[in-house]
């Protein structure tokens, strides 16, 4: 190799630049009761909270008990090197860490390494997930958010500095049985591949208070319409409006609750890519179709993904305001542009909201890598492919939710990608990964990071599994059966039809309580489905959890 010689001059330069780059003197400002914000380096024009368009509930935050800054500010390390931001936060012995995205297999995050990256969950908690929220909650009662729309690498108590404050014990693997493959680390270290970021610290006297502050600062949790908390069935993809009316009638016959129906890709004249226009054969009269369902108290929710088909009327309008690449031959609207949002708003309100559509299921804004734009994609706003991937789910939730708000309606839909700042979004995350055990873990983890998650029910192998899945979905944010691919009904296993109906009926009886829980989410920031680790009196001794 060409040797790199360190001359005295370069050494001096390095020492100088690291010294000044260390941000021990960054300015922490208390922006609300017990919430502090600081900027490191030059934060980018777009961030997660900016994309989410949060509106902090400062009054509600003011009512929370006072909190002090959770550790010595001098223990926070920040530096900018070569256009990247290096962050360090202290950890103490026995401190436990939760959050860092919608993980499916792990609750305790201390000792883990991940790169937070919006993606379909692929079976391991490596940071690639539907909501890779860069927010963590400590058992000591505080939370930290890195508000950067970037692929952030997190070392949650794994990186060990030569000059650690609380270094691990030195042991010889040859002879010492106490030798550890993973020695003790006294810090969380984070690499943000950007020249700066905003950081938020949410104080608290216990973990729940930190979570409340996080949710309230994001605008408080969403408050769904009551129908949104009922039961919903997604019908097979090529069902016509007549098929769906028939399906609704069957629910009535089976004495099974049905509050809204999910209409899958076949409602569109082409999908994928999408036209966002009704198919004239399967849906000759969508207005009448929505009215007929509404008479029975049933709403409609339309499936879509955002990739615009050349066959649709929107295409020529958005072509020059879209990304460099296609997804499934559809162009990718740059949703950070007001002009694009205006075009979508006009089309969607006219063709959907104004004829009674109550919400959307927004698919494929997560990944896999093959089913989304590449990181080499560029967008007319100048936002990179990486940034757009981290925020697209937030942008489309924010855009669609505002349409309903302007019409003074509530909505409650489904989303496949989300991120920090989403607490107030009237959307529930779903995917098509089907480990029942992992579903429950995700439900637990959703409560740390201000998102909602539903373990949607699809085909099961046995009647027993069918009941168990129905039971968990009925105690989740959205009680949904998704029959888009296989046409399953709640009564598909006759031997457990009663058990399934019972649990659905129980959901309906509990609806006032569930609604009340959501109002606590909305007004107090208390997550409606809570990890035990957030509940008063829960032991934080890891051995007992």
**Least distance in angstroms from the C-beta of 481 to its own copies:** 22
Q: How far apart are CA 246 and CA 267, in angstroms?
A: 16
Q: Does 433 bind its own copies (CB under 8 A)?
A: no
Rounded CA separation 359/411 (Å):
5
Tokens of 496: 């457990």
Give the SS3 label for residue 469. Answer: helix
The binding track of 507-536 with respect to its own copies, each residue x by CB under 8 A or -, is: ------------------------------
325 or 501: CB nearest its own copies: 325
Using CB under 8 A as the binding rule, whether residue 158 contacts its own copies is answered as yes
**Shortest distance, CB of residue 335 to its own copies, whole angstroms?**
9
* Of 45 and 542, CB closest to its own copies: 45
**329 is an interface residue for its own copies by CB under 8 A:** yes
CB of 227 closer than 8 Å to CB of 48 = no
Residue choice 39, 106, 205, 237 for contact with its own copies (CB under 8 A): 237
What 3-state class would DSSP assign to 221? coil
Site for its own copies in 360-399 (CB under 8 A): 369-371, 373-378, 380-384, 394-395, 398
CA distance 68 to 278: 55
> Least distance in Å: CB of 158 to its own copies?
6
Q: Judged by CB under 8 A, does residue 182 bind its own copies? A: yes
CA 65 – CA 209 distance, rounded (Å):
8
Which of 509-522 are b and which e, b meaning 16 or more Cβ less than 10 Å from the residue's Cβ?
Answer: eebeebbebbebbb
Q: Identify which of residues 227 and 278 has a Cβ nearer to its own copies in the complex.
A: 278
x/- string (CB under 8 A) for its own copies, residues 104-123? ---------x----------
Least distance CB 536 / its own copies (angstroms) = 34
Q: How long, in residues, is the chain?
A: 545
In the region spanning residues 28 to 67, those forming contacts with its own copies, defined by CB under 8 A, are 45-46, 50-53
**Residue owning tokens 């559809």:** 330
Site string for its own copies, 248-287 (x = CB under 8 A): -----------------xx-x-xxxx-----x--------
Residue of 66, 181, 253, 509 interacting with its own copies (CB under 8 A): 181
| Site for its own copies, residues 285 to 314, rule: CB under 8 A | 309-311
x/- track of binding to its own copies for residues 203-232 (CB under 8 A)? ------------------------------
CA distance 146 to 130: 17
Q: Which residue number, 154 or 444, has a Cβ lying nearer to its own copies? A: 154
Give the Cα separation of 232 and 406 in Å (integer). Answer: 25
Are 48 and 394 a contacting pair, CB within 8 Å?
Answer: yes
| Closer residue to its own copies (CB): 50 or 57 | 50
Contact 330, 308 (CB under 8 A): yes
Considering only the stretches 177-185, 219-227, 251-259, 433-441, report the one whose residues sit in contact with its own copies under the rule CB under 8 A: 177-185
Contact 42, 196 (CB under 8 A): yes
- Residue 82 is a binding residue for its own copies (CB under 8 A): yes
How far apart CA 322 and CA 388 sit, in angstroms, is 12
- The Cα angle at residue 354 between residues 351 and 356, in degrees rounded to 5: 100
Instruction: State the number of binding residues for its own copies (CB under 8 A).
Output: 88
What residues numbered 86-105 form the site for its own copies, per CB under 8 A? 86, 88
| d(C-alpha 511, C-alpha 514), whole Å | 5
- Using CA atoms, how far apart are residues 260 and 296, in angstroms rounded to an integer? 10
Q: Which is nearer to its own copies, 7 or 536 (CB)?
A: 7
């Amino acid at each position: 190799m060409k040797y790199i010689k360190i001359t005295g001059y370069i050494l001096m330069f390095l020492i100088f630049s690291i010294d000044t780059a260390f941000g021990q003197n960054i300015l922490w400002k208390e922006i609300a009761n017990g919430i502090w914000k600081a900027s490191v380096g030059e934060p980018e024009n777009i961030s997660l909270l900016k994309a989410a368009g949060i509106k902090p509930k400062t009054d509600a935050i003011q009512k929370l008990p006072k909190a002090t800054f959770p550790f010595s500010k001098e223990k926070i390390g920040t530096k900018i090197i070569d256009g990247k931001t290096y962050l360090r936060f202290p950890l103490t012995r026995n401190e436990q860490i939760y959050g860092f995205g919608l993980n499916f297999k792990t609750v305790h995050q201390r000792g883990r390494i991940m790169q937070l990256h919006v993606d379909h969950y692929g079976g391991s908690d490596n940071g690639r997930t539907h909501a890779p929220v860069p927010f963590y909650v400590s058992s000591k009662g505080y939370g930290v958010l890195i508000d950067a729309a970037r692929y952030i690498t997190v070392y949650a108590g794994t990186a060990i500095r030569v000059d650690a404050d609380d270094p691990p014990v030195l042991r010889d693997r040859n002879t010492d049985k106490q030798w550890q493959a993973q020695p003790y680390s006294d810090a969380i270290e984070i690499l943000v591949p950007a020249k700066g970021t905003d950081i938020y610290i949410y104080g608290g006297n216990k973990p729940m208070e930190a979570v409340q502050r996080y949710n309230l600062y994001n605008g408080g949790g969403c408050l769904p319409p009551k129908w949104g908390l009922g039961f919903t069935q997604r019908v097979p993809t090529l069902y016509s409006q007549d098929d769906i009316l028939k399906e609704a009638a069957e629910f009535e016959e089976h004495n099974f609750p049905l509050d809204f129906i999910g209409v899958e890709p076949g409602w569109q004249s082409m999908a994928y890519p999408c036209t966002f226009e009704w198919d004239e054969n399967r849906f000759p009269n969508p207005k009448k179709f929505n009215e007929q369902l509404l008479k029975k108290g049933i709403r409609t929710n339309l499936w879509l993904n955002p990739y615009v088909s050349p066959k649709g009327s929107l295409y020529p309008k958005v072509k020059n305001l879209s990304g460099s690449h296609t997804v499934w031959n559809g162009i990718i609207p740059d949703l950070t542009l007001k002009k694009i949002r205006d075009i979508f708003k006009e089309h969607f309100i006219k063709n959907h909201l104004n004829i009674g559509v109550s919400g959307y299921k927004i698919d494929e804004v997560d990944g896999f890598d093959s089913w989304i734009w590449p990181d080499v994609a560029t967008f007319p706003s100048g936002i990179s492919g990486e940034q757009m991937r981290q925020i697209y789910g937030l942008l489309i939730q924010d855009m669609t939710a505002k349409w309903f708000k302007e019409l003074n309606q509530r909505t409650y839909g489904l989303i496949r990608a989300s991120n920090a700042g989403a607490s107030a979004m009237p959307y529930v995350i779903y995917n098509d990964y089907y480990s029942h055990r992992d579903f429950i873990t995700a439900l637990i983890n959703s409560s740390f990071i201000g998102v909602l998650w539903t373990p949607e029910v699809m085909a099961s192998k046995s009647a027993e599994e069918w009941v168990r899945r129905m039971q968990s979905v009925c105690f989740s944010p959205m009680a949904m059966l998704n029959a888009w691919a296989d046409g399953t009904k709640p009564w598909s296993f006759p031997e457990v039809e009663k058990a399934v109906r019972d649990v659905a009926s129980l959901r309906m009886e509990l609806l006032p309580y569930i609604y009340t829980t959501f109002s606590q989410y909305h007004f107090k920031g208390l997550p409606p489905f809570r990890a035990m680790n957030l509940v008063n009196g829960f032991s934080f001794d890891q051995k007992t959890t």
